[in-house]
Structures are given as C-alpha cells and as structure tokens.
Amino acid sequence: MDAVDTSVLVRYLLGDPLDASQAAARLIDSQNPVAISLVALAATAFVLNHHYQVPRETTVDHLVGFLRKHNVRVLGTDKNLVASALLLCRPSGRISFADALINAEARSGNLNTL
C-alpha cells in the first residue's frame, strides 16, 4: 500500500503542475489501495484554503470526494467518520479542519469528545 502525503493530494486536487498532478492521479485513481494520515488531510485542507484560496466548502467537497474513493484508507481512523466530520465543518468557520479530524479520530476510537 502506498501512502499519500499532502503534496501528492494537493497536486491531485488542483491539477497543477500538470506532470505532478498526472503522477498523483496515476497513484490515487489506480485500483491499488492508498493510505493517508489525518495530519496529511489537515495539512491539505490548510494549504488549499489558505495558500490557494480555495473556498472552505470546495475544500471539504474535494477532500470528501477523495475519501469516497474505494481504494482510499485513512490510517487508524474510520474514513466514513472523517468524511462526516469534514461535512459538519463545511458551513462553519468556527470549527477548524484539524478540530473536525480530531473529533473523527476520537469517535473512531469510541472516545468521548468535549
């Protein structure tokens, strides 16, 4: 299984630069399982939103679309909980991407959240 880092996911979602985004697409769109950490997801959200000025809603939609791919795994966490946590923070400027992912990780481990 290959791991996807922030750079690969950003290139995949933005389609730029072309050569890097094509390489990322070959990896992510293959039938082979790929894994991503919560840290890489949080960093990707931050980079898209703050550095590339991708609107929050679009950032969430891109990340949830990525998570819905059948070959994508989230390390140590239920990816459905991650997707639902991101969707909950979509309309809210008060809940950070990182906080949403922390909540998903806690819920995935059957822990109480505050």
51-63 tens-digit pLDDT: 999 999 999 999 9
Give the range of the structural domain holding residue 69, as residue numbers without chain letter. 35-108
Residue 2 lies in a domain: no
DSSP 8-state symbol, 15: T
Q: Is the pLDDT of residue 46 over 70?
A: yes
Residue 14 lies in a domain: no
User: Total structural domains in the chain?
Assistant: 1
**Highest-confidence range of 6-10, 78-82, 87-91, by mean pLDDT?**
6-10
Task: Give me the pLDDT at residue 108, please.
Answer: 73
Alpha carbon distance 37, 42 (integer Å) = 9
**For 51, what's the count of Cα atoms within 13 Å in the CB-facing half-sphere?**
10
Residue 63 lies in a domain: yes
Alpha carbon distance 89, 81 (integer Å) = 12
Residue 114 lies in a domain: no
Residue 10 lies in a domain: no
Does the CA dihedral 98-100-106-112 come out positive or negative? positive
Residue 27 lies in a domain: no
Residue 89 lies in a domain: yes
- How many beta carbons lie within 10 A of that of residue 17, not counting itself? 9
Residue 22 lies in a domain: no
Q: Read off φ and ψ for residue 36, nearest 5 degrees.
A: -140, 145
